[in-house]
Amino acid sequence: MRRSVRLAVTPPFAFGLALRYLAASPSAIVEEVQDGEHVRPVRIGGRWLLLRVRDGAAPGGALQVTLEGRRVRTADLEAAADLVSRLFGTAEDVTPVLRALRRSPRFVPLARRCRGLRPVLIGNPFEALIWAVIGQQINIAFAAKLKAALLEHFGGSLAVGGRRYPLFPAPEHLARLRRADLRPLQYSRQKADYIIGLSQAVARGTLDFASLAGLPTPEAVARLTAFRGIGRWTAEYLLLRGLGDRDALPAADGGLRRIVGEELGLGRLATEEEVRGVAAPIAGWRGYLAFYWWFTLQERSRDRAPAA
DNA sequence: ATCCAGGCTCCTG
DNA sequence: CAGGAGCATGGA
């Protein structure tokens, strides 16, 4: 069965830009974009359902949220709408962000290009964490390959409408793995150890994402970096893409260092500190800035190599 | 072959 | 406490 609900958005809201980001995002393996629709499995009310999000084509740019599966209840729809609201930031007022960006001339083009775009969250914080660890110090195409292998071997799938949708493995599952289970999937020993150790911490509740929500970014970073395998970059990435922290800036990120290096005309990668310096005027919204930069980089590579 | 890729840990000084 | 060596792996 299939039921829909309408989700109001706070303008300006550019669903099209969010879709474009997702469509080109290497981490988006569980998520799909097709025919202007975002499709992904979601766990609601203790079971998996298929979520579809599309532009509602209604005044004000509302979204249409659809659930597909067995016995979809009204409460499920409400939960799905809440989830979509969180993942896409539909309820957030971005005018303060635009105002902050426009105060600096160098950010004006960025603000124009990304108008109505919000940081798009990865399906759940655990997935965001593991994706960040996978992405440490390897090229992103290879990282996507590693993630796909993880899903294929340990994630299972959801069958709906004659199709199967891959699921990201639960922490309890990855927590039971041994290093030797991951090595054949081309994970390095240290990456395998980090992923298993962090999965155990999440499964045991030692690492509790909910308790991080609402903490000041530096405090959350401090708590996260206490875990083996989480450095500052990973903590900031998780906060931004997994937990929706709007001020988290992974300044050590290679892509951000490159784009800031160009911005400053350095002829080299900017240092982490230089990235933080350029971002300083946007304090409070530095997560937006990071995401807009990533979006820019992605658009650029998309222009260079149009999708097949 | 060599260098790089969306870093982390651990050890120096 | 800042800085850097060493690490581990596949891809260009």
Give pLDDT, residue A138: 95
Give pLDDT, residue A68: 97
| Contact indicator for A166, A227 with CB cutoff of 8 Å | no
| Contact indicator for A44, A68 with CB cutoff of 8 Å | no
pLDDT above 80: residue A219: yes
A119's enclosing H/E stretch is none
Protein residues in reach of strand B (CB < 7 A): A 25-27, 135-143, 190, 194, 225, 227-235, 237, 241, 250, 252-255, 294
* CA to C1' distance (Å), from A83 to B5: 33
The share of chain A scoring above pLDDT 70, in percent, equals 98
Q: Is the CB of A138 under 7 A from strand C?
A: yes
Q: Is the CB of A180 under 7 A from strand C?
A: no
* CA to C1' distance (Å), from A155 to B8: 26
For B4, nearest residue by CA–C1' is A139
Q: Which of residues 8-67 of A touch strand C (CB under 7 A)?
A: none
* CA to C1' distance (Å), from A264 to C9: 33
- Residue A146: φ, ψ to 5°: -65, -40
CA angle A90, A301, A240 (to 5 degrees): 35
pLDDT above 90: residue A15: yes
* CA to C1' distance (Å), from A74 to B5: 46
User: What average pLDDT does the segment A75-103 reach?
Assistant: 98
Q: How far is CA A119 from CA A37, A66, A185, A289, A293, in A?
A: 18, 22, 30, 9, 11
A158's enclosing H/E stretch is strand A157-160
Question: Please, what are the domains in chain A?
Answer: 2-91 (3.30.310.20), 125-242 (1.10.340.30)
CA angle A232, A167, A77 (to 5 degrees): 100
Q: Is the CB of A276 under 7 A from strand C?
A: no
* CA to C1' distance (Å), from A139 to B1: 19
pLDDT above 60: residue A308: no
For C10, nearest residue by CA–C1' is A142
Give pLDDT, residue A307: 45
Q: What is the C-alpha radius of gyration for chain A, rounded to an integer number of angstroms?
A: 19
User: What average pLDDT does the segment A194-223 reach?
Assistant: 97
Please report which confidence band the pLDDT of residue A303 belongs to, taking 50, 70 and 90 as the band edges.
confident
User: What average pLDDT does the segment A109-130 reach?
Assistant: 97
* CA to C1' distance (Å), from A28 to C4: 35
Please report which confidence band the pLDDT of residue A194 belongs to, taking 50, 70 and 90 as the band edges.
very high
Q: Which of residues 64-123 of A touch strand C (CB under 7 A)?
A: none
Rounded CA separation A184/A206 (Å): 28
Q: Is the CB of A271 under 7 A from strand C?
A: no
* CA to C1' distance (Å), from A202 to C7: 26
Task: State yes or no: cis peptide before A96, omega within 30 of 0.
Answer: no
pLDDT in tens, A126-164: 999 999 999 999 999 999 999 999 999 999 999 999 999
